[in-house]
Structure 1
């Protein structure tokens, strides 16, 4: 007979951790995507020379492991600048910038995939730069960039497990706390994995639906 010390209160504790994972992921992906679009368009528009300082900063966020970024940011903001920021705020800021660094490259690549002849045709019809970007370039670039963006969003969701280092109790940290108390690692890790699956599966399926729909247009 299967026996466990896991209670309804423990399960609710895991659910709250999953909720924190969702909140951190949503904030980071939304803010990071907005910044990534701005940075990606800027890099494409001004060229590699003028965008070199921004490119360097983005390369830093892409190259340094996220765990180190979280530790350094928490120490810098709290110890050096003496800003009284919560771990949740620090986590969202760093994860947003981390997301933006990768998203900017995805956006730039998507824009470059739009044929120049299409852009010239749009401008020859009297479209302004803004109209060309809004009506022609970004819709076409979105189709190219969507699979990579979905992968990025799912990666950020899983990377959010590292925010425990700044005292944010997300899903994995909640699981570790219960493992220490209940000594049932296999069961708790299975439940943790199920939570991650439930969180990520709808996003992956929605991305697949959009790809299939656009491919049939």
Structure 2
């Protein structure tokens, strides 16, 4: 007969950790999307002038995220910044997301055929009008699947914030495992919660993309 020490309160504790995970993901994606959109346009439209920016973003893409968390959290203490660990997590994840979204946006902008842009200019559109009404709509549709995958990736990467003291879903599951000593059960439940969150995001993204296409 199956028996467990896992209680309803343990499940609620995991859900609280999941809520922290969703908050971290939301703030990081907001920061990463805004910054990545700006940086991506700069990289696509001003490739030479934005070369130093590309080098900086390469660092954030290349250095493991865990190292970035530890270094930034240590730097915060050294400099004396009075910000919470949650804020540190949002900033690091946001910059990390921006580094990747920059390349997604850049590739989307460069995917717009030059003949399309030349045709829009021949119709009398200014450079900014061409960018707003022609380039960005096409580029965003090209970039959207990559952005959605980035959201799902950041959601999983939030598990690394446990190393700077944030109790998100994975850390919450470890606390429960330490108490009841049933790792298989607890981790399966935590994995199921991750799956449900990812499934909801993926389904919402697919529905948005489908509606986007229907409005063409």
For 1:147 and 1:185, locate their aligned partners in 2 and report how far apart those are by CA, in whole Å: 35
The one of 108, 123, 144 equivalent to 2:142 is: 144
Q: Deviations over 1:52-74 (max 9, x none)?
A: 11001100000000000000000
Task: Report the counterpart of residue 65 of structure 2 in structure 1.
Answer: 66
Task: Report the counterpart of residue 198 of structure 1 in structure 2.
Answer: 196
TM-score, normalised to structure 1, is 0.95
> Are 1:78 and 1:85, in contact at CA under 8 Å, matched by a contact in 2?
no
Task: Report the counterpart of residue 24 of structure 1 in structure 2.
Answer: 24
Task: Report the counterpart of residue 4 of structure 1 in structure 2.
Answer: 4
Matches within 5 A, 1:97-136: 97-136=95-134
Q: CA deviation at 1:214?
A: 4.9
Matches within 5 A, 1:157-196: 157-196=155-194
For 1:62 and 1:19, locate their aligned partners in 2 and report how far apart those are by CA, in whole Å: 26
- Which consecutive residues of structure 1, in runs of 5 or more, have no partner in the other structure? none
The one of 148, 152, 155 equivalent to 2:153 is: 155
Task: Report the counterpart of residue 88 of structure 2 in structure 1.
Answer: 90
Q: Deviations over 1:59-98 (max 9, x none)?
A: 000000000000000001112x111221101000000000
Q: Deviations over 1:1-48 (max 9, x none)?
A: 22111122111111100000000000001110110000000111112x
Q: CA deviation at 1:163?
A: 0.5
- Which consecutive residues of structure 2, in runs of 5 or more, have no partner in the other structure? none
For 2:213 and 2:81, locate their aligned partners in 1 and report how far apart those are by CA, in whole Å: 49
TM-score, normalised to structure 2, is 0.95
Between Structure 1 and Structure 2, how many residues are aligned? Answer: 215
